[in-house]
């Protein structure tokens, strides 16, 4: 009789243990499913009436920017970040009846950043120059931002390495670009290449190269966030 009760007791204990384990499992799953590591904003430069640089073969900057932005969104989401794009289609952030669409567009991009307060923002652009030989990625940060400079260094280095740039540039401070000057928080302008360089324009039109650029930018962002985490007290 006693042995039977003992057996029943043990069976109950086991059932309870299984219940606890499955419950914990469910909580863990729920946590990983719901928790984000934070919001990252991707600004895809130009759009709508503003094509940005029109490069070799009529390649439009606004299209290349949006493709890279979308690939970058995927990469960051894989890493557990929430991502917001300032535009998801070929459109500007202005009203059709606006008198100055370009100004309204830039103001709205800044307003979005101000409202959403992301961990950081990267604004994707393409470069141009009269000398067709000039090529390679270039990252800009607001001159007076320590975190901006660190992010730019991380992204520039990744782009230089992963795109195997022959004459690598270093990140550059700037205090006149509207978005750098007027936006809140950490922001970089990332010019992934020159649409006026025949070889680079050809590459930037391909899905493979756009993905490569996105992966490099993503690695740069991850490296930056790790650095910030480690030195959070010393950085402004
Ligand atoms: Zn641009």
Instruction: Please write the tens of the pLDDT for every residue from 80-100.
Output: 999 999 999 999 999 999 999
Rounded to whole angstroms, how far apart are CA atoms 35 and 132?
Answer: 47
Tell me the angle at which helices 207-230 and 146-162 cross, rounded to the nearest 10 degrees.
140
Share of the chain above pLDDT 70, in %: 84
pLDDT at site 231: 80
Please give the full DSSP string across 159-175, using - where no structure is assigned: HHHHTT-SS----EEES
What percent of the chain stands above pLDDT 90?
A: 81
**Distance in Å, CA 179 to ligand 1 centroid:** 11
Task: Indicate whether 15 pLDDT > 70.
Answer: no
Specify the range with the lowest mean pLDDT, choosing from 23-32, 54-63, 86-95, 136-145. 23-32
- Between the CA of 51 and the centroid of ligand 1 the distance, in Å, is 8
Compute the distance from residue 24 Cα to the ligand 1 centre, in Å: 49
Q: Per-residue pLDDT tens for 104-116?
A: 999 999 999 999 9
- Ligand 1 centroid – CA 211 distance (Å): 19
How many whole angstroms separate alpha carbon 67 and alpha carbon 65?
A: 6
In the reported structure, the alpha carbon of residue 68 is separated from the centroid of ligand 1 by a whole-number distance in angstroms of 13
Q: How far apart are CA 38 and CA 80, in angstroms?
A: 8
């Amino acid at each position: 009789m006693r042995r039977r009760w003992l057996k029943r007791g043990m069976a109950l204990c086991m059932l309870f243990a299984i219940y606890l384990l499955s419950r914990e499992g469910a909580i863990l799953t729920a946590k990983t499913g719901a928790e984000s590591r934070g919001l990252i904003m991707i600004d895809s430069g130009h759009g709508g009436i503003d094509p940005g640089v029109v490069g070799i073969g009529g390649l439009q900057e606004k299209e290349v920017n949006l493709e890279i932005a979308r690939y970058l969104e995927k990469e960051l989401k894989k890493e557990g970040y929430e991502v917001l794009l300032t535009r998801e289609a070929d459109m500007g952030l202005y009203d059709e009846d606006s008198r100055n669409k370009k100004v309204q567009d830039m103001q709205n991009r800044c307003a979005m950043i101000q409202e959403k307060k992301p961990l950081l923002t990267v604004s994707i652009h393409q470069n141009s120059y009269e000398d067709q030989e000039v090529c390679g990625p270039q990252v800009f940060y607001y001159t007076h931002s320590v975190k901006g400079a660190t992010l730019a260094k991380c992204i520039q280095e990744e782009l230089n390495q992963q795109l195997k740039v022959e004459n690598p540039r270093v990140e550059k401070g700037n205090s006149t670009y509207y978005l750098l000057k007027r936006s809140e928080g950490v922001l970089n302008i990332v010019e992934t290449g020159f649409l006026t360089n025949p070889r680079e324009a050809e590459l930037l039109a391909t899905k493979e190269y756009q993905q490569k650029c996105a992966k490099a930018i993503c690695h740069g962002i991850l490296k930056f966030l790790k650095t910030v985490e480690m030195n959070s007290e010393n950085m402004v």
